[in-house]
Amino acid sequence: MGQVRKIIYILVGCISIVLGVIGIFVPGLPTTPFLLLSSWLFYKSSKRMHDALHRSRWLGPYLRRFQERQGVSWKTKWVSIACMWTMISISAFVFIENLHLRLLLLGLGVIGTCSVLFIVPGEKKDH
């Protein structure tokens, strides 16, 4: 892997962790999808950071809970997305008047939605 790609993965992984931590406190902003994204980015770029994230006292439990359940159902994904966009819409169009902040919030909503749909794996069915 190229050094530049590794640095980009680490940087985006760190940003994703920050967004995940903010999601702990901000309704509508997901936590687990951002942590899963960070985990994947660190897995591709830095084993040390990947392992540290999974061992973290505060963030590791989110990842372990996800791993134990081996994915989430489509119903859970859609409910999560609906709740997220309800809170984002209320925040962006009722409380936030600044256009730049509104666009930032909507952009984070798109990132969160894409994370839930494409990064968070669906539950595995036993046949």
The confidence band for 55, taking pLDDT boundaries of 50, 70 and 90, is very high
Interhelix angle for 47-55 vs 32-45, to 10°? 150
Q: Hey, which residues does 72 pair with through a beta bridge?
A: 122
- pLDDT, tens digit, for every residue of 11-53? 999 999 998 888 888 766 778 788 888 999 999 999 999 999 9
Phi-psi region at 28: left, alpha or beta (left = phi > 0; alpha = psi -120 to 50):
left
Q: Measure the CA–CA gap between 25 and 58, rounded to whole angstroms.
A: 13
Residue 115, classified by CB atoms within 10 Å of its CB into exposed (0-12), middle (13-18) or buried (19+), is: buried
Looking at per-residue confidence, does 92 or 50 come out higher?
A: 50
Domain boundaries, the chain: 3-119
Q: Measure the CA–CA gap between 28 and 83, rounded to whole angstroms.
A: 6
Burial call 93-106: b when 16+ CB within 10 Å, e when fewer: eeebeeeeebeebb
Prediction pTM value: 0.59
- pLDDT on residue 68: 77
